[in-house]
Each structure stands twice: as C-alpha cells, then as structure tokens.
A and B are shown apart, each in its own frame.
Chain A
Amino acid sequence: MTVWISSGRDQAQVLKSLLNDSFIPQTGTGVKLELVAQGTLLTATVAGIGPDVALGLGQGDPVNYALRGAALSLNDMPGFAEVQSRFREELSVPLYWDGRCYALPETQGFPVLFYRTDILEELGLSVPDTWDDVIGMLPILQKHSMTFGLPSSTVLNPSGGLPVFYTLLLQNGSRIYRDDPVSCALDEEGAVEAFRRWTEFYQNYSLPLETDFMSRFRTGEIPCRGIGYFTVQFVGGDRAGDQGLLEDCPVPGTVREDGSVDHAAVYSASCSMILADSRYPEEAWEFLEWWTRTETQTRYAREMESILGSSARYMAANRETFAGLNWSYDEAAVLEAQQAVCRGIPETAGSYFLPRHLTNAFRRVVLHSADAKDTLLDYVYTINQEIQIKREEFHLDS
C-alpha cells in the first residue's frame, strides 16, 4: 500500500518511524511512504500511478475528487462512526458530498483574537467582546497612530480576508449555501448586511488593506488582531519574545436578541483521503483509522514539537490530542470555547468561485466606492452561474 505525504521531510520521517514502530508490526500490512511535491496528486491520479492514501490535502480537494469519482466514500467502512467521533462534527462539513464522507480531518485551523496586554492597559482599553466594541476602540487606537488588525486578501493569500466576512455572516445568522447546494445564499438579506459591515471597516474606519501583521504587532502599531490564526510564529518563538504580553480570547462577536454574544467563526481543515482506484481499500482504511487515533496523533504531535520546537505545533484535528497539546490553562479554555462555536463551510461543485468573486466584490466596493448591495448581488449571479455550469457538467439535477 502506498501513502503520499507532501508536508515536509521531517514530517515524513516522524510518520515513517511511527509506522515501523506500531502500524506495520501490528497489522502486518506493508506501507510505502512517499514524500511528494504538493500538487502531484492530481496528475499522478490521472495517469493511474497515484497512491492509495493521500495525506495533508486542502479541505476543498476531497469533494472535487469525489465529484469526478476519484475519492473513496468512507461511510461504509468498519467503525466509521467511532472514527468520526474523534473530531468535532463541524470540522468534517467540507469533506462531505451528498451525505457521504470522503476524507478524515487531519489538522484544524480556527481564529481567535490576539492582543497585546501592555498596550491595551496603557491606553486604558478593555479587550473587545463584540464588533461594536471594536468600532468603539478604533478612535482611541487611531489617535495614537495605531489601528485594529483584520486579515485581508493579498496577492500571496487571495482569499485571506474572507474569514472576516464569514464570521460576520455566521454571527448574523445567515448561511453561505442554500440547503441544497444548488446556489449560494449570499443574496439573502443577512448576507448583504454582513458584506456591508465588512466593507465599512475599510471604507469608514480606514483599516489598512495590506500589512505585515507580525512586525506591526511587535512594534505595537497593531496591538489587537480580530481574526488571528495560530501560525508558525504565533505558537512558537515570537510568543516567548513577547514575554507574556500576548494573550488570546474568542473573536469579536455579535449580540444576539437574548443579550448573549455569538462568537461564531469558520473552521478550516486539512485532511486525508483514500483514492477510489486504490487496490487495497480495507488496508487503506485500517491505516487511516490508526493514523487518526488519539495515541498516534499525540505521539506524532509530540515528536514534531521535540524536533522543530514549539513553532512546529501540530494543530491536530483529533479532539483529545489537541486538548493535550502544550497549552496554558487559560489558553486551553479560550481555545475550547472558540472551537465549540466554529462552523465548517460546505464544499460544492464550483465552490472555488466563491472566494474569488467575494474578493473581487470586496475590492470593487472598497477601492472603487461601488454600492455594496449591487456589487454583491452582481457577483453572486456570476457565482451561481458557475455552480450551474458545473452541475450540468456532472449531470446533477439543478
């Protein structure tokens, strides 16, 4: 059986030693682990020389492969329900198509709010709990030549700004796709409102469109980051450099009608998938079952961290492994609270058009002062058209 990993040499070596230590002696299945360049999977699968299992895929890949009959459905595998219970349900949302599951989550990503305790204290500001609090603290920050940080779409990360929109959207009680994912639901009232609020941060409150967040956080120009991710620097080295001045808390929320605050945000995952033309589907599933076990994931996470330091923290999708990572007591509570309200975004045929055109819509409004509602509806029309074309291509009813 062949397994492909594309994350890196260190990762491959740790996984190899785990395989030789436990999986291969336990099951007697021979596993060939191969380190390949990212993006090889598609061409190799087309050529018929692909692997049985691919690790570390993006969350959009499984549905794309499934639509073309190239991914194996995992629902009927022995112990599927038990394996699924190792992860939060929302994390697997993008891995489903038409009620069937095509991959298992491997790592997870979700945002929190990062802030510099020293600066907020000096300015006499409290940590924002809602988006209104954020708007309230902006004048004070800007008076001191500082600003509030939100991620935005840049050249390197063309969909980087979307988590902000999705966060506002989910907290508004809206959704991205209609229940049957035949069209996206962004033309609904709540979505238009969320889009307007998102663009207003840049139009009315002139948040910067492009920044190097890490350096500005360190210099203190951006002491507060609304939608922040645990990137390499954030978990690791620099955190120590900030000498405990960095804290995190759930992302800014929206007040619900009953007075409680909704801190919903979006989940993203990387995942592992079994290819449909695998000659050893049972062994492949056995491998995935073993790989996602708490015990395997925890050992992998520990070994990664011992080789590369805390900057290599493995954000395991496995709930028990994640909770067992080296978090401080307060931090663990914050992360737990944030994860509990995170939601996954479904994938559908043609869903690649969503980030592309939302970014276009955002830029048209912010840079060219176009009307938010008209612009959004325009692009939603284009997005739905593409979804329609893709559905026809795959002979799905529309």
Chain B
Amino acid sequence: MFQSPEWVGWKNYIHLLASDEVFLQAVKNTFLIALVTGPVGYFVSLMVAWLISDLRPGLRAVMVTVMYAPSISGGAFAVWKLFFSGDSYGYINSLLLRFGLVSSPVQFLTDSRYMIWVCILVTVWMSLGAGFLSFVSGFQTIDRSMYEAGYVEGIRNRWQELWYITLPAMKPQLMFGVVMSITSAFSCGDVSTNLFGFPSTDYAAHTVINHMVDYGTTRMDMGYACTIATLLFAVMIGANQMIQRLLEKVGR
C-alpha cells in the first residue's frame, strides 16, 4: 500500500470472479437485500406518498416527517440492536423467554441463520428516503386541469387516474426515486456493519460494499478493493439502464 503498485494484469479480476467464495456470498446477500428492499421500498414510498398527498397540508407535513424520519436519523437504526440483542435482557429475547418460547436467548445478531432477515427488515424500515420526498412533491406539481380533462375523457376510478395521469406526469420524480433506490440498495453495508459487527459471522450478512471495505482497510489490498468497486459500478449502471427502460412503459 505504501510501495509503488505492481502490475498484475487481470489477476485480481480472475481471482474475484473465479475463486473468491466470500465474494459470491457477498453478491448473493447484496442481491437478496436489493431485490427485497429495493422494489418493496420503492412501491411503499410511492403508495405512502400517494395516500399522503390527499391529506390537508398541515397533517401532510406531519405525516411526511413521521415517514421520512428513519432515513435521515443516521445511526438511529442502532435502536434495533436493543430489540434484537442476544442478551437475555434484550427486548425480543426477554419477551420470548418470559413466554417460554425459547430456553436460552436467541443470538439474532451473531447467528448466521437469522442475520440476513434482520438486515432486510431494518433496511426496509429505513427505505422511505429521498425518493419518497420527491414523490410527495411530485404529486403536488401535477396540474389539476389534467384530472378534469381526464374525467371528461372517461377516467372511471382512482387507479386509472394514477396510471394514466399521475404517474406519467411525474416521470422525472419516478426516475430520481429509481436512481436513489438502486444506489442505496447496492451500496448497503452500514446496516450490516452496525448491527452484526465487521465482518459478520461467517460473512452471513456480508455485502459487496463490506467485502470492498474489508480488502481496502483490514487487509490493505487496494488493488483488489478497486476491482470490486469497478464491478459494482458496472452492475449499478446496468441495473439503472434496465429499470429506465421499464419506466418508459409507464402509462402505456
């Protein structure tokens, strides 16, 4: 790391793709988290924003704050550590013990069988982020006369209204939401580090970002860390392109 770099050709890429088992595990975890939390988070934000947009302005501001709070609170997901703590006095464990459902505390945060699910739960909880805010504002910007014109043209219910008028009219916001949600889904890693320690037991909640940080800091192998970052970047661009194509179909 302090010496001048050595030319290794494609060695890092070959090792990464062909023989790094931990990387495969990390890819699997990242995709699982991204697949569950990305779409779920996106649709939940959209739906919640849609519902909220019909409220009175005062009440709407309160609801937006309530929904948006988890994602701006930074490290506040650490409260989940209290819930899932492996101590017999942890919130969930003390309840389980009191009702006699288990005989010894469940190690939610260090047992590789439970960790990934805890990770997904917490990530979903935090997923109403910047995309959500842009949806809320997007709903406000739509011209009322569009709806009136729609009723004249034969829109019969609110679903049709949503699909044919609202969503096409707020495509820029939808796009922004997608970009934000993909980047956050693929770059998740903080939750894993904070909840399960670094690295997590048997890499059970290891994400691609964690893998990169592991090589970049603990193992001081910058070349390999860069290899991982490059691949991740390529995959993120690919996913973005794909979803942009999908979004073009909205309203058709």
Contact = CB atoms under 8 A, between A and B. Distances in A.
Interface stretch (B144-152, B171-179, B218-226): B218-226
B195 to A, nearest CB: 7
* Interface size class of chain A, counting residues whose CB lies under 8 Å from the partner chain: 20 to 34
B3 A359 contact: no
Interface residues of B, number: 30
Contact of B105 (A155, A158, A209): A209
A155 B199 contact: no
Q: Is the interface of B mostly helix, strand, loop or mixed?
A: loop
Contacts of B197: 154-156, 158
Interface in A46-80: 46, 64-65, 68-70
A208 B198 contact: no
Contacts of A68: 1-3, 220
A58 B133 CA distance: 44
Contacts of A359: 201
Contact of A69 (B3, B88, B199, B218): B3
Contacts of A69: 2-3
Interface string A138-157: 00000000000000011110
A155 B109 contact: yes
Contacts of A360: 201-202
B54 interface: no
A367 interface: yes
B209 to A, nearest CB: 18
A321 B239 CA distance: 61
B1 to A, nearest CB: 5
Contact of B81 (A45, A153, A155): A155
A398 interface: no
B80 to A, nearest CB: 11
B110 interface: yes
A352 B85 CA distance: 26
Interface string B179-213: 00000000000000001111101100000000000
B2 A209 contact: no
A393 B219 CA distance: 11
B233 interface: no
B104 interface: yes
A210 B85 contact: yes
B87 interface: yes
Given A68-B2, A356-B199, A367-B111, A210 B105 contact: yes
A210 B201 CA distance: 15
Contacts of A155: 81, 109-110, 195-197
Nearest to B104: A206
A41 to B, nearest CB: 12
B107 interface: yes
Listed residue (B113, B195, B201, B217) with the most chain A CB atoms within 10 angstroms of its CB: B201
A206 B102 CA distance: 14
Contact of A64 (B88, B112, B202, B220): B220
B89 interface: yes
Interface of A: 42, 45-46, 64-65, 68-70, 153-156, 158, 206, 208-212, 276, 350, 352, 356, 359-360, 363-364, 367-368, 390, 393
18 contacts: A42-B220, A46-B1, A65-B2, A68-B1, A69-B2, A155-B109, A208-B87, A208-B105, A210-B85, A210-B105, A210-B110, A212-B89, A350-B219, A359-B201, A360-B202, A363-B107, A368-B111, A368-B113
Given A42-B220, A46-B2, A209-B105, 15 more contacts: A42-B217, A46-B1, A154-B86, A155-B110, A208-B87, A212-B87, A212-B89, A363-B110, A363-B112, A363-B201, A367-B107, A367-B110, A367-B113, A368-B111, A368-B113
Query: Which 8 residue pairs across A and B have the least CB separation, nearest first?
Result: A210-B86, A155-B197, A70-B2, A158-B197, A68-B2, A210-B87, A367-B111, A360-B202
